[in-house]
Structure 1
C-alpha cells in the first residue's frame, strides 16, 4: 500500500507480512470431572506484532523503529453445538473475529485486504476438520505480524510547503544566506513553510528536513500541517504515541481477548 504525493510518486511504502504455526491442544469436556459430555471446540490465537519504520537518508533519520506491539492473545471456545462453525467459511469467520480482537493489530490500521492477508489460511482446514468431528480438542495458533513502513522524511515534509509568493523576491534564504530568486537556478524555486510562511530554497530546506522537521528560523513544527496519514507515520517514527484505536465492544460472548504483554 502506498501514499502518493502531488505528482503521483509514492511517499510512503508499506507492506505487511504474517507467519503462522499451530499445535494441537488436548480435548476438553464439559463438566468438572473430565468425563462424559461433548468435547469443546476451541481456538487460542497468540499474536506478536512488530512495526518497523525506516525514514529518509538524512543523518537524523537513519534508524529502524520497532512498534510497541508486544504479545496479545484471543480465544474462542464453543461449548454448545450451535456455536461450532459448520465449515471452512464459518472457521474463517471465527478467525477474523479473533484477529479483530487483538488490540496491537488494530494499532496497525490495516486495510480490509491486509486483514485478509494475515488471516492464517493454513490452519483453516485443520479447524474445519475439528468442527466436523474428525478431530478433537482445539488448536493453539501462533501468529507473527510484521508491518514495514518506509518513506523519505524530506519528501514527506515538503508536501506541506508551497512556492513562495512574489513579494519575497528580495529576501534571502536563511540556510545558505543567498538571495532566494537569484540562486533559484541551482537550488530550486523558493518555498514557504506552512504556518510561519518563512521562505527558503527548495533544495536547502529539503536538506534541513533530513535532520529536523522544524522551521530553521522559528522552530515551528512542520508536521502539524501535513496530511493526517502522513503526520501519523512521522509521529510514530519520532516516538510520539499514536492515537489509540477504537476499542471493540461487540465481540461475541465466546471471543475473549487478553491484554497485550509488555514487550
Structure 2
C-alpha cells in the first residue's frame, strides 16, 4: 500500500505498509483462568520491520541507492472472542481484526495513518478465519492462531538528502575571507549554499544537488550523508 506524503519541508515521501501472513493454524479452545474454557479466541504473533530507501531520480528512478532495515521483536497476544458472529462475515471479521491488531505495541509505534490501519490486516487471513468460524466444528470451540509481518517502508529521492543539510549563514564578521564551492570552485557568496550535517564542508545548493544524483557522500571527506538523515527519516 503506497501512501505519497509531503512533509513540512516539501520533499515527497512515499510511505508503504505491507502486511503479510507468515503462517496460521487452528488449535483447541483456550483454557480459562477458572479452569473452564472460553469457546473461541485468536492468538496473533506480529513481527515488524522498518526500512528506509533512497532512490535515484532521472532516467532510472527505481534504482535503490541503499536500503536500511530495522527489525522489531516478535510478540504474541491472545484475544478472547465472546460472539462468534463477528468472525463469520468478511466485513465484521476485518473490523474485529483491525481492533485487535491496534492493541499491539509494535504496530502502534509505527504511527500509522487512519487509512493505513484499514490495510494492516493481511489480505488473505480474513477468508481463512471466516471459513473456520462458519464451519461445523466451530461449535466445539477453537483458537485461531496466525503469525504476520508488517513492513513499513519509507522511500526518498535525492532531494531527501538536501533536507539533512542546513542553510549556510553568511559570516558578516569574516569580511576578508571567502569560501569556495569545492564542486564548481566559485565563491559561495551570492547564491544559496548549504553545509553538510556530518562535516564542516559547504557547497552551492545547485552543485550538491547535482552531486547527490550520482553519489550520497561529501565530495571532500566522503562521509555518507544518508547516515545523518537516517534517524530523522525513520521517525517520519
TM-score category (smaller protein): 0.5 to 0.7
Say if 1:53 and 1:64, in contact at 8 Å, map to a contact too: yes
RMSD: 4.6
Question: How far is 1:128 from its partner?
Answer: 4.5
CA distance in 2, matches of 1:179, 1:204: 11
Gaps of 5+ in 1: 237-241, 244-263
Whether the 8 Å CA contact 1:53–1:149 is kept in 2: the answer is yes
Number of equivalent positions: 210
Which residue number in structure 2 is paired with residue 139 of structure 1? Answer: 144
User: Please, what TM-score do these two structures have when normalized by structure 2?
Assistant: 0.64
Distance 2:5 2:183 in 1: 31
Q: 1:171 to 1:29 in 2, by over 3 A?
A: closer
Residue of structure 1 in register with 2:159 after alignment: 155
Once the two structures are TM-superposed, the CA of residue 98 in structure 1 deviates from its matched residue by 2.4
Give the secondary structure class of the aligned counterpart of 2:80: strand
2-side partners of 1:29 and 1:146: how far apart? Answer: 33
Aligned to 1:17: 18
Q: Which has the higher strand share?
A: 2
Distance 2:53 2:114 in 1: 24
Select which of 57, 63, 68 maps to 1:65.
Answer: 68
Q: In structure 2, list runs of 5 or more residues that go unmatched.
A: 57-63
Q: 1:130 to 1:23 in 2, by over 3 A?
A: same
State the Cα distance separating 1:109 from its structure 2 match: 2.2
Query: Closer, same or farther in 2 for the Cα pair 1:210/1:74, shift >3 Å?
Result: same
Equivalent residue in structure 2 for 1:92, among 84, 94, 103 = 94
